[in-house]
Amino acid sequence: MTLRVLDIIEETMVDGVGLRTSIYFSGCNHFCKGCHNPQSWNLHNGEEMTIDELLDIIKADDFANVTFSGGDPLYQCEGVTELARRIKEETDKTIWCYTGFTYEEILDNDYLKQILPYIDVLVDGPYIEELRNTDLPFRGSENQRIIDVQKYLKGEKIMNLWVKVVVWFVCFIFLVDWSFELITMASTMANLVGIAIAIAIFYFTLKTKCFTTITFKTNKNEKGN
């Protein structure tokens, strides 16, 4: 399998935390106003490279982690996913991926979401000139988020399980109330209001814990920033 690559920059520190090998993939259809790299939009620009060739360059640096940028790497999602899978299998390097899609758009799309299990950090969303902020680390506009992908994926699973538990619990309460007629309608309503408040508080606490963007800590693979 081959990928079209515009450029590879080794030992950079601007595309994520620590020292990184940045691979700039060709192709992008987001056409953001004020894009810093419009020549990257054409999928046919750049050079054809095999996954093995890219892996050789990545592995040649023992210290640098990896960043996928572009263009938008997800316009070659199948090949980039295969590259990410091989990096995870054959090295202990972390992967940052820049994309003009939002995390939610990726989750809703089977073709795009295949890459998520192999990505550590996603910098998501298009560049919006009106929201440009040069003080932001590692991104150009305020709408873009730096997402700890594995934490988000775990959060999705926890939230889905939690919603199922709540639905079953509420059904159970209704069944008990109606079957045994042990409590009056008033106390039933009070119970339900209390339960609803408790559920809402727990839901928002859990959601905040599960879906926060990354804080800038270095890990054992990263040299610091």
Cβ closer to ligand SF4: 29 or 184?
Answer: 29
Shortest distance (Å) from residue 222 CB to ligand SF4: 24
Does position 141 interact with ligand SF4 (CB under 6 A)? The reply is no
Does position 15 interact with ligand SF4 (CB under 6 A)? The reply is no
How far is residue 29 from each of residues 35, 38, 130, 200, measured CA to CA in Å?
11, 10, 19, 40
Distance CA 54, CA 21 (A): 10
Q: Using the rule CB under 6 A, which residue among 3, 17, 23, 28 binds ligand SF4?
A: 28
Token pair for residue 9?
């920059």
Shortest distance (Å) from residue 90 CB to ligand SF4: 28
Does position 16 interact with ligand SF4 (CB under 6 A)? The reply is no
Shortest distance (Å) from residue 127 CB to ligand SF4: 4
Which helix (H) or strand (E) segment holds residue 205: the answer is: helix 185-210
Does position 6 interact with ligand SF4 (CB under 6 A)? The reply is no
Does position 126 interact with ligand SF4 (CB under 6 A)? The reply is yes
How far is residue 70 from each of residues 107, 121, 195, 213, measured CA to CA in Å?
20, 16, 49, 22
Does position 27 interact with ligand SF4 (CB under 6 A)? The reply is no
Shortest distance (Å) from residue 45 CB to ligand SF4: 12
Does position 70 interact with ligand SF4 (CB under 6 A)? The reply is yes
Does position 77 interact with ligand SF4 (CB under 6 A)? The reply is no
Give ∠ CA 139-145-149 in degrees, rounded to 5: 120
Distance CA 105, CA 110 (A): 10
How many Cβ atoms from other residues are within 10 Å of residue 169's Cβ? 12
**Binding region for ligand SF4 (CB under 6 A):** 28, 30-32, 35, 37, 40, 70-72, 100, 126-127
